[in-house]
Structure 1
Amino acid sequence: MTKTWGIFYNKNSGSGEATKKAELCQKRLAEKDSKVVLITGDSLDESQRHLANSLPDLDSLIVIGGDGTLNAAFSVIVKNNHPLPVGIIPAGTVNNSLKDIIFRKTQKTRLQISSYQHDSAWSD
């Protein structure tokens, strides 16, 4: 069965970096026989409407952008009560949300490794 991916991005941001990344993702996924829907608009409202209308047909979503784009996408997903796997490709100026997610994951991993090493040291 062909998987349908949505790629949500802000085509008006920055120097067009999100658009370049979206088109590259589209190309790579199409090479894997996936169906790809590019989801964007001329305004935030229009982009969110396109995402809301596309959600029922998507198996997964890729969000390309920064904190604002992430917030826009997750707001639509939550509002429509339509959970689905989401991949994130940073293309924002600051990406604070991504940094926070990565930091928390790194800290959790470090704690797990530290705990494992501590427990292993006493098992000899």
Structure 2
Amino acid sequence: MRSYLIMYNGTAGKSDNEAIAKKAQRVLSEADKSVDVVATGSEKEAVQQAASATTTHDCLVTIGGDGSINTACKGFLKAGNSIPLGIIPGGTVNNFARALKLPLDPDQAILTLLDSQPAKVDLATIGNIPMVSSLTLGRLADISQNVKQDEKRRFGVLIYLFKGLKELFTNRSYKLKITANGRSETLRAQILLITTTNSVGGNVAFNPDATYDDDFLHVFILKEFTLPKIMTYGAFFLSGNLKNARGVKYLKCKQIQIENLSSRDIKTRIDGDPAMALPITVRIKADFLRVLLPRKANSKND
């Protein structure tokens, strides 16, 4: 790869994005690479830049968390094609980067761009909307909805635990119709989670059976989310056995349709950001992405 486009959110406020971008540009240029840098002023501009990069550059580099990676993937989907994607983590949780075993330190991530290999990585889609890491709905999404950006920056993942404890005092459930693997089922649930990797909330041991290139969606449906249950779920979550916990339904599929049978709207969150309401159909787009990973980190070749 000879030409790189480094893209970052120019409206992120108090961030080191610009300094990181300039350092990455310097390091790549010193390695005799052609490098362009763009600070985007809106998501629409970022999507267009990513789409255009598929015909003008050999590699797109993003600086940020799962939301920034998601925006780049929107551009790839718009173009109907992808180019190798370099990731310099800069989010609060960096769930996707953790799942791919990428360095979280910006300096190390920049060096990885020079000593890496593109690995095929799955992408989930809801129509033309990408999902790089996770989709949630129900009370887990309600918790995230109550977390503000400045709270995420100040407290990190701990803010989710605090907001979650407050949510435990409600007992809201949702009636859903789930269609996957040729079967339909109607059920009540308090949380539904879909992932494309082994990592959730930065816990890379969440689902040891999943990999970023296994060509499957991994679906967890929690029927209860009460104080006694959260203690049990927490232990199973940390040990990587949540799918074996009582009250948890686990599905492994390439496509899932989720319909709302409740009277109130049910909204989703994708890669940590607010997204569309039900109904939705989520599909796996196997090996659509090519992400620059440290050498010997390609799971299909391990």
**TM-score (norm: length of structure 1):** 0.73
The answer to which structure has the higher strand fraction is 2
Where relative contact order (Cα < 8 A, 6+ residues apart) is larger, the structure is 1
Alignment deviations for residues 88-115 of structure 1 (CA, whole Å, 9 cap, x no partner) = 110112222223333849757xxx9xxx
Do the aligned partners of 1:67 and 1:97 also contact (CA within 8 Å) in 2? yes
Residue in structure 1 matched with residue 88 of structure 2 by the alignment: 89
Residue in structure 1 matched with residue 4 of structure 2 by the alignment: 5
Matches of 1:32 and 1:52 in 2, distance apart? 26
Matches of 1:92 and 1:15 in 2, distance apart? 13
Compared CA separation, residues 51 and 83, structure 1 to 2 (3 A): closer
Residue in structure 1 matched with residue 68 of structure 2 by the alignment: 69
Q: CA deviation at 1:39?
A: 2.8
Aligned length: 109
Structure 1 stretches of at least 4 aligned residues deviating more than 6 Å after TM superposition? none
* Structure with max Cα Rg: 2
Matches of 1:49 and 1:38 in 2, distance apart? 14
Do the aligned partners of 2:46 and 2:75 also contact (CA within 8 Å) in 1? no
RMSD of Structure 2 on Structure 1 (CA): 2.7
Compared CA separation, residues 11 and 45, structure 1 to 2 (3 A): same
Question: Equivalences for 1:37-116 in 2 at 5 Å?
Answer: 37-102=36-101, 104=198
Matches of 2:25 and 2:32 in 1, distance apart? 11
Matches of 2:100 and 2:65 in 1, distance apart? 13
- Opposite residue 53 of structure 2, the aligned amino acid is S
Residue in structure 1 matched with residue 270 of structure 2 by the alignment: none
Gaps of 5+ in 2: 102-196, 212-298
Matches of 1:35 and 1:89 in 2, distance apart? 18
Q: CA deviation at 1:32?
A: 1.4
- Opposite residue 48 of structure 1, the aligned amino acid is V
Matches of 1:60 and 1:20 in 2, distance apart? 20
Query: What is the percentage of aligned positions where both structures have the same residue?
Result: 31
Out of 44-53 and 60-69, give the one that drifted further.
44-53
Residue in structure 2 matched with residue 121 of structure 1 by the alignment: none
Q: CA deviation at 1:10?
A: 1.0
| Matched position secondary structure for 1:64 | strand
- Opposite residue 46 of structure 2, the aligned amino acid is S
Correspondence 1:29 to 2:39: no
Matches of 1:76 and 1:39 in 2, distance apart? 15
Alignment deviations for residues 37-57 of structure 1 (CA, whole Å, 9 cap, x no partner) = 113321111122222223211
Compared CA separation, residues 51 and 81, structure 1 to 2 (3 A): same
| Matched position secondary structure for 1:15 | coil
The answer to which structure has the higher helix fraction is 1
Gaps of 5+ in 1: 113-124
